[in-house]
Amino acid sequence: MTKGATATSRRTMLCGAAASAGLAATSSWAAETVTLGLKGGPDQRALTTAFPQKGSMVLQRTRPPLLETPWSVFDEGVFTPNDQFFVRWHWAVIPETVDLATFRCAVRGHVNKEVSLSMADILALPRFEIAAVNQCSGNSRGLYEPRVAGAQWENGAMGNAKWTGVRLRDLLDHVGVKPGAVAVRFNGLDQPVVDGAPDFMKSLAIDHARDGEVMLAYQMNGEQLPLLNGFPMRLVVPGWFSTYWVKMVSDIEVLDKPDDSFWMTKAYLIPDTPHASVQPGQTGFPVVPINRLVPRSWFTNVTAATKVKAGSPVPLRGIAMGGDCGVKAVDTSVDGGVTWQPAALGKDEGPYSFRQWTATAVAPPSGALTVLVRCINTKGVPQPMESNWNGGGFMRNGVERVALSVA
């Protein structure tokens, strides 16, 4: 009954919103647009500055917000500015106001002492800082062929920041984890729009939660988190995909049995196969929750629109990430991957950070200069030459290639 009443009232409001939105129905829905490399379309997106604490962002969806970092930002340095850091929410009920006078984060469940902590309490715990890439599980989904449904990101659903906060281990030691704990589940202030829908929660195995790197961050790049990036604090899981990086964390529950809730058992599952890859149409394969990041690398100073002069040296620049460990090497190739030349690596900001790389290629007398870049991480794992494919559009990391036209 409550559900029906809620749905009705929401329906009424929505009709009002639809009517007033009529003006936006024309083709002039965006003053400035950007074209993404999504084969078959739709490839046009608005650039928006309408979101609080955010500069120019690629608008993938207004409500709940999906905002992609414009690609040019990644050429400016290895740390992504907070005001252009990507934004991804599952449910549209997002608090617009967070009052530190009343905000509390519960730590409860299979612990010796259940507590409700203010941000002042959290700030008083020992501090920890780490650079880490936060990458959406579905980053680059729009580049898959055949295409798959879901948020149609190009490559900008990721960012790198220096995170400051408290180690989860220190917080758990503060309350005392009881013997027999197996997992820790995190919930934030966001909630589903409709009753009965699964609230967004994620969990980590207890040993992972206590590994001394998983943390609750209240600052990124030296500033408090933007509201849309999870103010007042979010989980940071270095080396793991962003789905675990719960925003606006307000509830931490230590579990004495595995988490069987929706977002761990039904969503964000990948094929349990090499590179999480299957054939389109294939069924019957085992699946596991997505987990560790994999190595990737990109060009940031050239695109398919870049023109180079025949026979001249072409400076190449980009970023790389090792995934769940550091970057061992970045190589480029101008012969389709038959031979590779090592790129120079920039400053090492830690194993989970982006690493800048530079190289030089020489343009041929005519035609095109097709350049490839690959990362090999410190575990010796290289990017695969060809991208994986799966129906969720998860964990893409094939070698990037760009064809530059020679003039």
Partner 1 sequence: MDPLIKVIGGVALAAVVVVSVTAIGQRAPRPAAPYAVPAYSAALNQQIAAYAAVVGPNAPKAEADVGGIKLRSVGFEIPTQGRAFPPGPNLEAMTTNCMSCHTPGMILNQPKLTAAEWTGEVNKMIHVYKAPVEEADVPAIVTYLAALKVGP
Report the site for partner 1 in 103-132 (rule: CB under 8 A): 103-104, 106, 108, 114, 116, 118-120, 122-124, 127
Q: Is 201 in the site for partner 1 (CB under 8 A)?
A: no
Binder of partner 1 out of 178, 180, 193, 307 (CB under 8 A) = 193
User: What's the rounded Cα separation, in Å, for the pair 44 and 4?
Assistant: 37
Min CB(154)–partner 1 separation in Å: 11
Q: Do residues 391 and 344 make contact, with C-beta atoms less than 8 angstroms apart?
A: no
CB of 376 to partner 1, least distance (A): 32
271 preceded by cis ω (within 30°)? no
| Shortest reach from residue 117's CB to partner 1, in Å | 10
Shortest Å, Cβ 187 to partner 1? 8
The verdict on whether omega for the bond into residue 64 sits within 30 degrees of 0, i.e. cis, is: yes
Closer CB to partner 1, residue 15 or residue 288?
15
Cβ distance to partner 1 smaller for residue 13 or 344:
13
Of 31, 305, 338, 407, the one binding partner 1 (CB under 8 A) is: 31
What are phi and psi for residue 82, nearest 5 degrees?
A: -55, -35
Place of tokens 């414009």: 70
Q: Which residues pair with 368 in a beta bridge?
A: 405
Element (H, E) at 163: strand 158-167
Interface with partner 1 in residues 85-104 (CB under 8 A): 91-104
DSSP symbols for 319-363: EEE-SSS-EEEEEEESSTTSS-EEPEE-----TTS-EEEEEEEE-
Count of residues that interact with partner 1, criterion CB under 8 A: 87
CB contact at 8 A, 184 and 206: yes
Q: Order the strands of the 400-406 sheet from edge to edge.
A: 307-308, 400-406, 368-377, 327-333, 341-342
| 263 in Cβ contact with 198 (< 8 Å) | yes
C-alpha 280/C-alpha 271 separation (Å) is 12
Return the structure tokens found at 9: 């009232």
Q: Which amino acid is at 255?
A: L
Q: Which of 5, 37, 63, 310 binds partner 1 (CB under 8 A)?
A: 63
Considering the complex, state which of residue 45 and residue 296 has its C-beta at the smaller distance from partner 1.
45
CB of 323 to partner 1, least distance (A): 27
Binding mask of the shown chain, residues 306 to 325, with x at each position contacting partner 1 by CB under 8 A: --------------------
Report 237-266 residues binding partner 1 (CB under 8 A): 250-251, 266
Asked if 152 interacts with partner 1 (CB under 8 A), we say: yes
148 or 205: CB nearest partner 1: 148
**Residue 10 touching partner 1 (CB under 8 A):** yes
Does 184 contact partner 1 by CB under 8 A? no
Residues 329-358 that bind partner 1 (CB under 8 A): none
* Cβ-based neighbours of 91, under 8 Å, separated by 6 or more: 64, 190, 191, 192, 193, 197, 199, 200
Give the three-class secondary structure for 142: helix
Residue 43 or 211 with smaller CB distance to partner 1: 43
Joined tokens for residue 377: 């991480």
Beta bridge partners of 133: 160
Nearer to partner 1 by C-beta: 65 or 289? 65
Window contacting partner 1 (CB under 8 A); options: 71-79, 129-137, 191-199, 280-288:
191-199
Confirm or reject binding of residue 29 to partner 1 (CB under 8 A): yes
- Closer residue to partner 1, CB minimum distance, 192 or 364: 192
Q: Which of residues 375-394 bind partner 1 (CB under 8 A)?
A: none
Pair of tokens at residue 403: 């064809």
Closest separation in Å from C-beta 393 to partner 1: 10
61 sits near partner 1 (criterion: CB under 8 A): yes
CB of 24 to partner 1, least distance (A): 5
- Contact between 140 and partner 1 per CB under 8 A: no
Cα–Cα distance, 194 to 196 (Å, whole number): 6
